């Protein structure tokens, strides 16, 4: 049962990583279009900066759990490499649990940003796009990152042999 939950969290993180990659591609295409119409056609668009900022925020928060899963966040690899594999596993579990707590706390704190934005029907200044769905991505991204960190810590706790086989990476 727990293994299935951990696998589901990993799949959610993988999916959000894919969505983030697609958003980056959309942003790149949008910026190329903006440069083309601005400098070649001399007809700049007024929406590209606003949409670009929203897409950047979206892929930053949606990709956080995936980046954690693949080991892309800053970690204490230098410390772990100088201790025994068992102590390395313990340190990794501890740091991952701290990441889960911090992410959960950030999800809790950022929820009020979303609810306030929703309550006042906040919109962008340049173009009339509601901000609440975009602000929802902040607590959502932190919550999924919290779940991913918990899944990683539980996996390391329950299956220490995987930590030893992975060359002390832990995932």
pLDDT number for residue 170: 43
Q: What is the DSSP string of 87-121?
A: HHHHHHHHHHHHHHHHHHHHHHHHHHHHHHHHHTT
Q: Where do the structural domains in the chain lie, given as residue ranges? A: 2-165
CB 83 within 8 A of CB 118: no
pLDDT digits (tens, 9 = 90+) for 92-139: 899 999 999 999 999 999 999 999 999 999 888 778 889 999 999 999
Q: Which ranges of the chain have pLDDT less than 50? A: 167-171
């Amino acid at each position: 049962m727990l293994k299935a939950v951990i696998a589901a969290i990993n799949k959610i993180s993988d999916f959000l990583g894919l969505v983030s990659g697609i958003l980056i591609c959309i942003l790149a295409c949008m910026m190329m279009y903006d440069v083309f119409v601005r400098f070649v056609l001399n007809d700049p668009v007024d929406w590209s900066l606003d949409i670009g900022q929203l897409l950047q925020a979206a892929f930053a928060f949606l990709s956080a759990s995936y980046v954690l899963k693949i080991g892309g966040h800053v970690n204490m690899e230098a410390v772990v490499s100088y201790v025994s594999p068992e102590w390395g596993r313990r340190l990794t579990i501890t740091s991952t649990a701290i990441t889960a707590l911090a992410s959960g706390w950030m999800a809790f704190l950022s929820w009020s940003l979303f609810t306030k934005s929703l309550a006042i029907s906040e919109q962008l200044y340049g173009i009339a796009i509601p901000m609440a769905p975009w602000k929802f991505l902040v607590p959502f991204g932190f919550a999924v990152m919290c779940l991913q960190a918990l899944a990683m810590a539980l996996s390391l706790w329950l299956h220490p042999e995987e930590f030893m086989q992975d060359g002390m990476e832990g995932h």
